[in-house]
C-alpha cells in the first residue's frame, strides 16, 4: 500500500525572482464548504454554535473568530478557513450541530490553491487580470468576493491592506502562478495610481 | 460593454462577470399539464424565441459573484438595461408598460391568468 501524503498544488515551483511584490503559496489551509438557508434560524444558530461566530450575511464580507475565518460566497454558501488540523474538528462539530437541519458541510481543503500577494502595488497587479476596480472603497480588509481573474474563476480575499489571498481551483494553480509571476515583474509595475490613498 | 447589476447580491460589473442565459419567462408546458402537451406547444417551448428590436427580457447569471440566476430587461437597440429583477418575479410595472409586440401580449396574458388564479 502506498502512503497517502499531502502535496500542495504548487509544490516544487521555483522561487520567483525580480518581482515588484511578494508572491507565495499558502499551504496547509483547511477549507470547509458550508451551505444552508439564512432564513432558517436553526441553521444560523447551529452554525454560530459550532464556529463561534455569526455567518456573514452581507454580500462580499467575511468574519473571523480566533483562527477561524468565514468567507461569504453566496447568499447560501460560505467557505470556512482554518488550519488543516482544525478543519477536521470543525467538520465534525458542524456535522453534529447541523444534524437534521437542511444544510451541506463538505471538507474541500484540497479543492483550491491559495496564493498570497503582499506588498505595495498588489492592487495594480491583480487589476491586470480582472475588471474589478480594486481602488474602490469596497475592497478593504474583510472584503472577499469571487471574480473573473485571468479568464478563470477565482476568489479574492482582502486579508489586510496590501495583503491579498487569491483562491483558484487546484488544476489552475500553475496557470495562475505563472500569470502572477509574469504580471508582477518589477519592470512591468504600473504607476497608474501612484501613491493614491488607500480607501478608508 | 454592458454593465450588469445582480439584484441578489448587488454585485455590479462587466458583462464578462455574468452569463447570459437566453430569453426570460419561457414556460415548459409539461410542468403545468404533462398529460396534454401537443407537439406544437413542445416545439414552441424548445425552439421558438422572441427576437424583438427594442425592449427584451432575458435571464442572466451572476457567474463570478453569488452564482444566482436573475432576470433583466434590456433594450436590444441601445443595449441599455431597464431593470434587474428576481428569477421568480415579473418585471416592474413601469417596464411591463413599455413592452411592445409579442412581449406586451405575453405579459397581458400572464397578468390575466394570474389574476384569475
Residue B51 has pLDDT above 80, yes or no: yes
- Say yes or no for a CB contact (<8 Å) between B16 and A131: yes
| φ, ψ at A155 (rounded to 5°) | -120, 130
**pLDDT category of residue A4 using cuts at 50, 70 and 90:** confident
The answer as to whether A130 is a domain residue is yes
Structure ipTM:
0.85
Contacts of B65 in chain A (CB under 8 A): 59, 74, 145-146
Which residues in chain A are contacts of B86 at CB distance < 8 A?
Answer: none
Mean pLDDT of B52-73: 95
Q: A125 and A165: one domain?
A: yes
Of B9, B16, B64, the CB nearest to A75: B9
Q: Are the CB atoms for A29 and A81 separated by under 8 Å?
A: yes
pLDDT higher than 90, residue A105: yes
Range of the domain at A94: 29-107
Q: A6 pLDDT band (50/70/90 cuts)?
A: confident
Among A107, A136, A163, where does a domain finish? A107
Report the DSSP beta bridge partners of residue B76: none
pLDDT at A3: 78
In whole angstroms, what is the distance from residue A73 CA to residue A61 CA?
9
Number of domains in chain B: 1
Beta strands in chain A (DSSP E): 22-26, 29-36, 62-65, 68-74, 77-83, 103-107, 112-118, 144-149, 152-160, 163-169
pLDDT band (50, 70, 90) for residue A199: low
Between B72 and A7, whose confidence is greater?
A: B72
**B115: pLDDT confidence band, cut at 50, 70 and 90?**
confident
Residue among A75, A77, A146 whose CB faces B64 most closely: A146
> Is the pLDDT confidence value at A133 over 80?
yes
Domain shared by A36 and A98, yes or no: yes
pLDDT in tens, A19-62: 999 999 999 899 999 999 999 999 999 999 999 999 999 999 99
What is the radius of gyration, based on Cα positions, of chain A? 18
Contacting residues of A for B13, CB less than 8 Å apart: 131-132
Confidence of residue B113 (pLDDT cuts 50, 70, 90): confident
Q: Locate the chain A residue with the closest alpha carbon to B18.
A: A148
Q: Is the pLDDT of residue A2 over 80?
A: no
Q: Is the pLDDT of residue B61 over 90?
A: yes
Do both A122 and A172 map to the same domain?
yes
Considering the domain architecture, whether residues A35 and A102 belong to the same structural domain is answered as yes
Residue B32 has a pLDDT of 85
What sign does the dihedral A78-A81-A85-A90 (CA atoms) show?
A: negative
Same domain? For A175 and A116 the reply is yes
Q: What are the helix (H) ranges across chain B?
A: 29-32, 39-47, 93-98, 101-116
CA-based R_g, chain B, Å: 15
**A51/chain B closest Cα distance in angstroms:** 22
Confidence category of residue A190, pLDDT binned at 50, 70, 90? confident
Question: Chain B residue closest to A75 (CA)?
Answer: B66
Closest CA to A175 of A12, A27, A9, A15: A9
What pLDDT is recorded for position B33?
Answer: 86
pLDDT at A127: 93
Is residue A103 located within the same domain as residue A118? no
Amino acid at each position: 500500500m502506498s502512503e497517502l501524503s499531502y502535496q500542495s498544488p504548487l509544490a516544487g515551483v521555483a522561487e520567483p525572482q525580480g518581482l515588484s511584490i511578494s508572491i507565495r503559496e499558502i499551504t496547509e489551509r483547511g477549507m470547509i464548504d458550508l451551505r444552508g438557508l439564512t432564513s432558517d434560524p436553526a441553521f444560523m444558530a447551529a452554525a454560530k454554535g459550532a464556529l463561534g461566530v455569526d455567518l456573514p450575511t452581507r454580500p462580499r464580507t467575511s468574519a473571523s473568530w480566533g483562527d477561524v475565518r468565514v468567507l461569504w460566497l453566496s447568499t447560501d454558501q460560505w467557505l470556512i478557513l482554518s488550519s488543516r488540523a482544525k478543519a477536521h474538528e470543525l467538520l465534525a462539530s458542524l456535522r453534529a450541530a447541523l444534524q437534521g437541519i437542511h444544510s451541506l458541510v463538505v471538507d474541500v481543503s484540497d479543492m483550491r490553491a491559495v496564493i498570497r500577494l503582499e506588498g505595495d502595488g498588489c492592487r495594480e497587479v491583480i487589476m491586470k487580470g480582472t475588471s474589478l476596480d480594486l481602488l474602490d472603497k469596497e475592497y478593504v480588509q474583510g472584503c472577499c468576493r469571487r471574480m473573473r481573474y485571468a479568464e478563470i474563476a477565482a476568489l479574492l480575499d482582502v486579508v489586510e491592506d496590501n495583503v491579498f489571498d487569491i483562491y483558484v481551483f487546484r488544476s489552475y494553480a500553475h496557470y495562475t502562478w505563472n500569470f502572477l509571476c509574469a504580471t508582477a515583474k518589477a519592470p512591468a509595475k504600473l504607476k497608474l495610481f501612484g501613491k493614491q490613498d488607500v480607501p478608508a | 460593454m454592458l454593465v450588469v447589476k445582480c439584484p441578489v447580491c448587488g454585485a455590479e460589473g462587466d458583462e464578462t462577470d455574468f452569463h447570459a442565459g437566453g430569453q426570460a419567462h419561457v414556460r415548459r408546458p409539461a410542468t403545468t399539464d404533462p398529460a396534454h402537451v401537443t407537439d406544437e406547444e413542445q416545439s414552441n417551448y424548445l425552439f421558438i424565441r422572441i427576437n424583438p428590436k427594442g425592449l427584451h427580457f432575458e435571464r442572466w447569471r451572476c457567474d463570478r459573484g453569488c452564482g444566482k440566476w436573475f432576470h433583466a430587461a434590456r433594450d436590444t437597440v441601445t443595449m441599455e438595461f431597464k431593470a434587474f429583477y428576481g428569477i421568480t418575479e415579473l418585471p416592474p410595472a413601469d417596464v411591463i408598460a413599455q413592452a411592445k409586440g409579442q412581449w406586451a401580449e405575453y405579459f397581458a396574458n400572464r397578468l390575466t391568468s394570474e389574476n384569475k388564479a
